[in-house]
Amino acid sequence: MEIFWYIVLMTILTVYVILDGYDFGAGIIHLFFAKKEKDKVLITKSIGPFWDANEVWLIAGGGILFFAFPTLYAISFSGFYLPLIMILWLLIFRAIGLELRGQIHNKIWESIWDKAFGISSLLLALFFGVALGNVIRGVNLGMVTDGVAVYEDAYFILPLWNSTFSPQAEHLGVIDWFTLFLGIVSVVALMIHGANWIIFKTNSELNPKLKKTVFNLNIVLLILVITSLSVWHIIEPDPFHNFIENPWMFIFPIICLVGLFGMFKVKQFKKDGTGFLFSSLFLFGGLTSTVASIFPKVLPSTNDVVPSLDIYNTSTAEYGLSVGVYWFIIAIILVAVYMFVQYRVFSGKMDDVGYGEH
């Protein structure tokens, strides 16, 4: 049952990254590329009916984490308290940036909320990449100092950064050069994803420029991915052991590569949605490859005193996991019907759909 709920949790979080990821990317495009009012309006329209529903997947992921892996939930939310609060405030400012912009037709007012929306989207993309970096790198569970655990069990607390800015320090920070690097990868990947979504859902005059931007950013992304594989060896001496022991897992990096190289054809796609499909494949393949590489761990320990957190030592009782399956089936059917209706109603281009004046 632990494996079943782990797959459910990772699936929900992956869906969240793909769906809300294009919202973040659209916000970054809005910040740097939308100079004309009509371009800003079209970008807002492209995500308007979807962004709040997309964020529900994050809440669902938190619910599954709380229910199925309560130990991981408790330890992670206490250890990452400061960055989680920062993410919460960024989500709030991003939402009110969308909702309040159209309330007053004043250039200063609109500019303030445009910046709130764009900068929050950029920082959210960065922070979620940093969060993934923390999961790959691991944390000092128990806050071990000189071979002795300061806290009972696996509890820890991290500052935003430490004085060395190193991912190999005894007392780590949330941000170091490795996690920041993955944050940059996240920003570039989601920026591409958001641009592909805008191309897919609008007939904006920005679209030809965005196709060129996607192609150029994809070159940057390819370089970043190759570099990340190289520096991964610094954090984990044998990062591919799970793939070697379980060759079927290579399907995940293959999907990632298909998405990555497919995006180089963005200028030649006849259907506007093809680019979004390939960027979705890249995100799916990249995330699944990452979690597969550390499985069954969910939060590695950087010391030899306190063991890593995995799906077995953090899960709830077998009875609870079994009973939860019935409620999950009901919930997933309701969500599937809702998502189908939503994306069916708002299929096609969003140029004529009103949003922002409420």
Name residue, tokens 């371009």.
39
| Residue 95 CB neighbour total at 10 angstroms | 16
**Per-residue pLDDT tens for 187-198?**
999 999 999 999
Which value, in Å, is the radius of gyration of the alpha carbons in the chain? 21
**Per-residue pLDDT tens for 273-323?**
898 999 999 999 999 999 998 888 888 888 888 888 888 888 888 878 888
Q: To the nearest 10°, the Cα dihedral for 340, 341, 347, 352?
A: -150
Residue type, 229: L
- State whether residue 309 is helix, strand or coil: strand
Helix (H) or strand (E) holding 148: strand 148-149
Distance, in Å, from the CA atom of 350 to the CA atom of 99, rounded to the nearest integer, reads 18
pLDDT at 46: 86
Sign of CA dihedral 74, 321, 251, 55: negative
* 194 contacts: CB under 8 Å, gap ≥ 6: 21, 22, 23, 24, 25, 26, 27, 28, 29
**Per-residue pLDDT tens for 92-111?**
988 888 888 777 788 888 88
Distance, in Å, from the CA atom of 56 to the CA atom of 176, rounded to the nearest integer, reads 30
- State whether residue 79 is helix, strand or coil: helix
* 251 contacts: CB under 8 Å, gap ≥ 6: none
Residue 202 in this model has a pLDDT that exceeds 90: no
Please tell me the pTM assigned to this model: 0.90
Q: Select the more confidently predicted residue: 120 or 147.
A: 120
Average pLDDT in the chain: 87
CA neighbor of 207 nearest in space, from 1, 42, 60, 89: 42
Residue 325 backbone dihedrals phi, psi, to 5 degrees: -60, -40
pLDDT at 252: 93
Distance, in Å, from the CA atom of 75 to the CA atom of 237, rounded to the nearest integer, reads 26
Q: Select the more confidently predicted residue: 9 or 269.
A: 9
Q: Select the more confidently predicted residue: 85 or 350.
A: 85
Residue 352 in this model has a pLDDT that exceeds 80: no
pLDDT at 354: 66
Percent of the chain with pLDDT over 70: 99
Q: To the nearest 10°, the Cα dihedral for 87, 119, 197, 10?
A: -20
CA neighbor of 141 nearest in space, from 120, 121, 126, 156: 156
**Per-residue pLDDT tens for 20-61?**
899 999 999 999 888 888 888 888 888 888 888 888 888 888
| pLDDT confidence tier of residue 239, bands split at 50, 70 and 90 | confident
Return the structure tokens found at 104: 């007053």
Distance, in Å, from the CA atom of 29 to the CA atom of 192, rounded to the nearest integer, reads 9
Residue 355 in this model has a pLDDT that exceeds 70: no
DSSP H helical segments within the chain, as ranges?
2-32, 37-47, 51-68, 70-79, 81-100, 107-137, 177-201, 207-235, 241-245, 251-262, 273-294, 318-345
CA neighbor of 289 nearest in space, from 234, 237, 232: 232
Residue 358 in this model has a pLDDT that exceeds 50: no
Distance, in Å, from the CA atom of 25 to the CA atom of 8, rounded to the nearest integer, reads 25
Distance, in Å, from the CA atom of 313 to the CA atom of 70, rounded to the nearest integer, reads 10
pLDDT at 357: 53
Contact (CB, 8 A) for 150 and 143? yes
**Per-residue pLDDT tens for 150-162?**
777 788 888 888 8
Return the structure tokens found at 322: 């079994």
Tell how far CA 283 is from the center of its chain.
Answer: 9
* 289 contacts: CB under 8 Å, gap ≥ 6: 249, 252, 253, 256
Return the structure tokens found at 42: 């079209």
Residue type, 142: G
**Per-residue pLDDT tens for 212-237?**
999 999 999 999 999 988 888 888 77
Contact (CB, 8 A) for 141 and 304? no
Return the structure tokens found at 108: 């200063």
Residue 148 in this model has a pLDDT that exceeds 80: no
Strand 309-310 versus strand 148-149 pairing type: unpaired
